[in-house]
Amino acid sequence: MKQRYSILLLSLVLVIASCGKDNGNNTDPLEDATVYVLNEGNFSSANGSITSYSPESGSTTLQAFDKANGRPMAGYLQTSKVIGDRLYIVSNKANKIEIVDKNSLKSEGTIEFTYSPTAIEVVDETAYVGLYQYNQNSEDIRRIIAYDLANMKKTDQKTDVSSMVRDIEFAGGKLYATNNGGNTVTVLDPSDISIEKTINVGYAPNEMLLDNEDRIWIACNGSSYTDKPASLYVLDAQTATKIDSIVTGVEVGTTSYQKRMSLNVEKAEAYLINDGISVIDMNTYSIKEQAIDTESFYSIGYFPLQERIYTGKSKGTSQAGKGYVYDLKGTAVDSFNVGIIPHKFHFTSN
């Protein structure tokens, strides 16, 4: 198993070697790169935003969506996902999903919902959206629906699930949905959103990451209130089965940080928010080392073009947070201003 990445690494070395000759026309690839930070904002104020950061110049643009479109984003930004040339931004309190060009942030459309969207996945021209609504005296909605992007209208397909959906991932020809209020992942048929299987994982599964071997990596937050351990689960997307899990050494998430991670497939490493940043060996499914100690980060991303780890630190719901850039040894190399509660990183390069 330890050799599974040897072919990938050899190919990478050959590519780098073939590109090593400079004919005078080569440009720094970072000149065309942009890092976007999705900032949740304050739920009551519905002031979520996007920060744009240039890794080449170090310049930062706050409220980048607002400046690109001449209007505020509006809403509490639950999550986002880059698919193709589009960035899909899930705005919880505003009950909408903004579809924008991933390079310019120009809006290409808005999908509005009756209930709060919590997650999205797009397959061809169909968007699969997690919806949630809880009113003690009326509605209790935990649902996944299908939306026709070609005609911009909702279809009749829908399926109720056991808990609020935190993330949806298409892999191995199936849809996988994390049920954040419990300890399961629901496996669905994308043709009709029917439930095929339920997989038990750790408590409070968050966002999923798919690697180049069709393995799904899930960081589970656990709960200090109900004494449920945090964990990391790895699933086989082709067979919808558990491959392995890590519990020992994974700290329970608190209100100051959530269990989130990013993958570096070239080095076969995963970087997990874990009372700092832990390095996970993707071959042995074990914690290798602690790259960064005792920091309460709220978000994390790995930019392979730059070989840098990006983290976001929240300073609460009333003041702007901070973004930090680290090398792979855990040394801080840069920092920049972001919005309120930096939640997620996206990396683009033209």
Is residue 151, in this structure, part of any structural domain at all? yes
pLDDT band, very low/low/confident/very high, at 253 (cuts 50, 70, 90): confident
pLDDT band, very low/low/confident/very high, at 14 (cuts 50, 70, 90): very low
**pLDDT the model gives residue 8:** 39
CA-only gyration radius of the chain, Å: 20
Kindly report the length of the chain: 350
User: Is pLDDT at 132 greater than 50 in this prediction?
Assistant: yes
219 φ, ψ (degrees, to nearest 5): -90, 125
| CA dihedral over 12, 14, 20, 23, signed as positive or negative | negative
Of 3-17, 129-143, 315-329, the range with the highest mean pLDDT is: 315-329
Is residue 132, in this structure, part of any structural domain at all? yes
Calpha distance 288→291 (Å, rounded)? 9
| CA dihedral over 318, 222, 88, 262, signed as positive or negative | positive
For the chain, how many structural domains are there in total? Answer: 1
Share of the chain above pLDDT 90, in %: 81
**pLDDT the model gives residue 84:** 93
- Dihedral, CA of residue 79, residue 83, residue 85 and residue 88, to nearest 10: -30
Higher pLDDT, 22 or 108: 108
Calpha distance 172→175 (Å, rounded)? 8
User: Is pLDDT at 271 greater than 80 in this prediction?
Assistant: yes
Is residue 206, in this structure, part of any structural domain at all? yes
**pLDDT the model gives residue 313:** 95
Share of the chain above pLDDT 70, in %: 90
Whether residue 94 contacts residue 75, with contact meaning beta carbons closer than 8 Å, is answered with: yes
**pLDDT the model gives residue 258:** 72
> Which one, of 37, 191, 52, lies nearest residue 128 by Cα?
191
- Which helix (H) or strand (E) element contains residue 10? helix 6-18
Lowest mean pLDDT among 82-86, 135-139, 151-155, 309-313: 135-139
Tokens of 177: 């949905």
Whether residue 147 contacts residue 130, with contact meaning beta carbons closer than 8 Å, is answered with: no
pLDDT band, very low/low/confident/very high, at 255 (cuts 50, 70, 90): low
Tokens of 148: 């026709």
Whether residue 345 contacts residue 301, with contact meaning beta carbons closer than 8 Å, is answered with: yes
What's the domain range around 184? 113-255
**pLDDT the model gives residue 5:** 42
Whether residue 142 contacts residue 102, with contact meaning beta carbons closer than 8 Å, is answered with: no
Calpha distance 301→254 (Å, rounded)? 19
> Which one, of 259, 258, 329, 338, lies nearest residue 293 by Cα?
329
User: Is pLDDT at 63 greater than 50 in this prediction?
Assistant: yes
**pLDDT the model gives residue 25:** 54
CB atoms < 10 A from the CB of 191, how many?
Answer: 11
Is residue 339, in this structure, part of any structural domain at all? no
User: Is pLDDT at 17 greater than 60 in this prediction?
Assistant: no
CATH classification at residue 168:
2.130.10.10
Average pLDDT, the chain: 90
Is residue 52, in this structure, part of any structural domain at all? no
Which residues make beta-bridge pairs with 221? Answer: none
Is residue 19, in this structure, part of any structural domain at all? no
Is residue 47, in this structure, part of any structural domain at all? no
User: Is pLDDT at 41 greater than 50 in this prediction?
Assistant: yes
Tell me the CA distances in angstroms from 325 to 23, 272, 292, one per residue in order: 31, 15, 12
Is residue 348, in this structure, part of any structural domain at all? no
Half-sphere exposure of 234 (CA within 13 A, CB side): 19
For residue 332, the SS3 value is strand
- Helix, strand, coil tally for the chain in percent (to 5): 5, 50, 40
Lowest mean pLDDT among 17-26, 311-320, 329-338: 17-26
User: Is pLDDT at 21 greater than 50 in this prediction?
Assistant: no
Lowest mean pLDDT among 2-16, 26-40, 127-141, 211-225: 2-16
User: Is pLDDT at 11 greater than 60 in this prediction?
Assistant: no
> Which one, of 275, 210, 278, lies nearest residue 238 by Cα?
210
Calpha distance 324→335 (Å, rounded)? 4
State pLDDT tens for residues 184-233: 999 999 999 999 999 999 999 999 999 999 999 999 999 988 889 999 99
Calpha distance 117→96 (Å, rounded)? 7
User: Is pLDDT at 268 greater than 70 in this prediction?
Assistant: yes
The gap from C-alpha 338 to its chain's centroid, in whole angstroms, comes to: 17
